[in-house]
């Protein structure tokens, strides 16, 4: 049996009123059930994806906070590395000069 609203009154339609055989009605009901099950499954998938997106967003915020909080430390490490490189160059130049000076003092 099918029900539809007509001018505020309930009107019941039979299979004959729709011009469908019992087999066609059964087939339509099965298709309707299949579509409902598919829609329910899709809805569950969407909710799962939504949860994943919310979690990814939360983790992205944490990652951003960590990167920003470490930026000063990273800058300091970079500055120290540059200073160390300059000190090493300067030390190597002084060693070369010392070696040249020492070579002049050798007596054979």
**Segment 51-105, tens digit of pLDDT:** 999 999 999 999 999 988 898 888 999 999 999 999 999 999 999 998 888 877 7
Q: For the chain, how big is the Rg over CA atoms in Å?
A: 41
The two tokens of residue 4 are 């539809």
Q: What is the pLDDT of residues 7-32, one digit of tens each?
A: 445 565 655 666 777 788 788 889 98
Rounded-to-integer distance, Cα 11 and Cα 5, Å:
6
């Amino acid at each position: 049996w099918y029900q539809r609203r007509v001018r505020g009154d309930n009107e019941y339609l039979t299979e004959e009123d729709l011009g469908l055989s019992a087999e066609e009605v059964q087939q339509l009901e099965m298709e309707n059930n299949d579509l409902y099950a598919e829609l329910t499954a899709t809805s569950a998938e969407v909710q799962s994806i939504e949860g994943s997106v919310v979690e990814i967003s939360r983790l992205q915020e944490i990652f951003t906070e960590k990167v920003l909080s470490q930026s000063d430390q990273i800058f300091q490490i970079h500055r120290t590395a540059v200073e160390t490189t300059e000190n090493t160059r300067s030390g190597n130049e002084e060693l070369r000069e010392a070696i040249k000076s020492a070579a002049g003092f050798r007596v054979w």
